[in-house]
Structure 1
Amino acid sequence: MATLPPKEDDPYKLKCLIIDDEPIAVRGIINYINALGTLEIVGHCSTAMEASEALKANTVDLLFLDINMPYLTGLEFLESLENPPLCIITTAYAEYALEGFRLNVVDYLMKPISFQRFFQAVSKAREIFRSELMLKEEPQESNSDMYVRQGDSFQRIRWMDILYIESMQNYLKIHFKDEALIIHQTMASIEAMLPKDYFFRIHRSYLINVSHIDTISGGRVIVGGKELPLSRQRRDELLNSVVYKNLISK
C-alpha cells in the first residue's frame, strides 16, 4: 500500500493511541495510519490498564478502541474517563453499537475494517478536532455566542443566557430561562470555554452564571429561581472573588 508523504506542518495531525489485544488488528490499524500520513501514533496497548497509564504519559487526541479486552471492556474504560479523547471503536461485535454512540464515539468500525471505512472515520475525527480547536482559539469574552458539541455537529448558544450548568454523569445539562439543553461534554471542557469573570463552579456538579444569581444564603445559591448547593470550600471564594468584586465595579 502506498504511503502518503507526512504533512509536518499539519496543525490537525491527531496523536492517536491504539487499544486492542489482537496483534493482527493492531498491525492492520498501524498500516492504515501509515498509509494516510495524517495521524501520529503515540503507542498501542492491549489492556485498559495499560491505556490508562499511556493517557497519563502522553497527549492523545484520538483513541482506536477495541471492546472485547481482558479485565475491563473498551466501553467500560471509555466511560471511566473524565475527559476522554475522540474515540473510534474497532470491534467484531455489532451489538454494542448503540452503547458506543451513547458515549459519543466518532465512529463504530466493524472488523475486518476496510480502508474506505477507516478513511471515513479518520476524516470525521479530524473535522471534529479541527472544529474544537477553532472554538478554543476564538475569544469567547468578546462574543456572547459559543458552540457546544452535539454528536458530530455543533449548536450555537449565547453564554450570556445560560443560568447554570449541571453535571449528569457523562452528560451536562445547560439550563436557560425557558429550556434546557443536554450535551455530551465534560464540566472541565465547557468551563474552559466560558469567560471566568462570569462563570463560577459552586459545587462539583454545578457551574453558575454569576450575573443571574438571585440570592446567596448559607450553603445555597438561588439562580433563576432554582436553589443550588454551594460547597463550604467555595462559598468564601464566591463572595470574595466574584460577588464583592462585581458590587464594587457597580
Structure 2
Amino acid sequence: MAAALTLLLIASLLQGALCGELKASMPQTVEVLRGSCVTIPCSFEMKDGYESDLDNIYDPPRPTLTPSALKVKEGTSVSLTCSAPAPCLSHPPTLTWTPDLGQSVETLQENQDKTKVQTSVVTFTASKNHHGETISCTATYNKQDGSTESAVTTSLTADISYSPKRTTVSVRPSGPVPEGSDVTLTCSSTANPAVESYTWYRADGAQETVVGTGAVLNIKASKDNSSFFCKTENIIGAGRSNLSQIDVQCKDHI
C-alpha cells in the first residue's frame, strides 16, 4: 500500500510539474502474499514536445567507487568496485573504467530495500606506473528510445608506494678529465615515498668500498679511483645504479 501511495505521489508531482500534460496509470488493485515483495506496474503518457521537461526532472546519480581512496604498495592485488543505481531494469547503466585496467566483471545486484544496482569489479596488480594516475568509472544511462543520457563519472587518484627505480649516476664534467681535477657525481632515482638515503661505493674488481653518502659525491679524479656506483633506499626497498667509469687522463699524457 505504501508503494502504491508513493507512486501516486510521484505521478501527482510530475503532473504538477508538467502542468497536467502527463497522464500516469496503475492497477486499481494488486493481490499479494502478506510478508512477500510486490512489484506494482506503472505507466505514463505525455503529449509530444514535453519530453525535455521530464528530462529536467531526472539527472543521473554519480556512481560509487569502493574503496574511495587507493593507497597500496607496488605488487599488491587491487580490486575496485563501481556501483551505479539501475532504476530501469531493461536499460541498466553501462559502466566504463578509465584507463583500461584489465577485464572487469559486471553484475546486477539487489539491495535490501529491493532497489537494483549495477556493479563492475576490476582487479589488477598495482605498479609504479599507476602512481598519481586518475582512475575513473563512468556510468552511462540509455533511454528507452535508444538515446543516451549525459554520462556521470566518479574518480580517485592512485597512491602507489614503491622502492627506488631508474637509479642513475651523472658525472660532471662528462668528458675526459685531467688526473687530480675535481669531479662531481650526482645520484638520482624515482621512488614513493622519496629516497631517504644515498650511499656511494668505489668498485675495485669484486671489492666494493663505501666512499660517501648523500645525493652528490665530490672527488679528485684518479686512475686508481675511477669506477663508482650508488645505492638508494626508502622504507619500501632499495635500488642500485650501473657502474660509472670516469675517463681520467694521466698528467704525463696531457
Give the TM bin, normalised by the shorter chain.
Answer: under 0.3
**Structure with greater helix percent:** 1
- Taking structure 1 as the reference length, the TM-score comes to 0.23
- Taking structure 2 as the reference length, the TM-score comes to 0.23
